[in-house]
Structure 1
């Protein structure tokens, strides 16, 4: 029987390493194409969540919002397998997405993985341009080019 009363140091939780590829998004981007505006990505303290601050105009409608991207984890449960996000618009909408970044291709599904509504874009060789398109069921959608400005 051990009488060791030395407290055991617990390692603090660490962000899931599959979030690391999202570092490519960090910075401020100018949007052009069928949208105009800016978006800024930054890590929340701790590195568990990436925040996106959005300000753009689409179809003559101005939009401001905040998106939180990471693994969803409810108290007492394991984190989600997918990288999920929740977007909050200044107009009161809440939207959910699933992110995947493989190689130079970023895919963002609206609602759930493999949704028929999605964004797919490709990073340039230097990583400073993300050229893509939102696709909607029935053939709708729009193109957007994001160019890193800082």
Structure 2
């Protein structure tokens, strides 16, 4: 944990505040995503309804520091996504400046998303990269 994190990890998690809101997706993925804080701001929840490669996927993702009972929080911001096909997917989120990286499975994975938010925070562009493929994705803020 960096010197800027609080003892419960909330400072680092709150760096994801630019994601909060409703977004329209574009490019190779279409649909909508909504990010919202759970009470206490210890977890960020994403609801997604998207189409990728002509396949609709809906579900939710819970994002936050892992904190097993009796232990302190992990330095990484982990998430688990649950979709309508019964899949569970684990990720690690990193936001540095305007660049968001989402590692599939954990930091350093060959499968990851990397994108950049526009200076006004109202849009972002990037791409998922994984062995054997990838796809472009953009997001535009729908809310104020």
Question: Would the aligned equivalents of 1:71 and 1:81 in 2 still touch at CA under 8 Å?
Answer: yes
Are residue 135 (structure 1) and residue 129 (structure 2) matched? yes
Structure 1: state its 5+ residue gaps. Answer: 1-12
Superposition pairs of residues 1-150 of structure 1, within 5 angstroms: 16-138=10-132, 140-150=133-143
RMSD: 1.1
Larger radius of gyration: 1
Runs of 4+ residues over 4 Å off in structure 1: none
Question: Would the aligned equivalents of 2:8 and 2:72 in 1 still touch at CA under 8 Å?
Answer: no
Q: Deviations over 1:42-66 (max 9, x none)?
A: 0001100000000000011100010
TM-score scaled by length of structure 1: 0.88
Question: Would the aligned equivalents of 1:15 and 1:47 in 2 still touch at CA under 8 Å?
Answer: no
| Matched length | 137
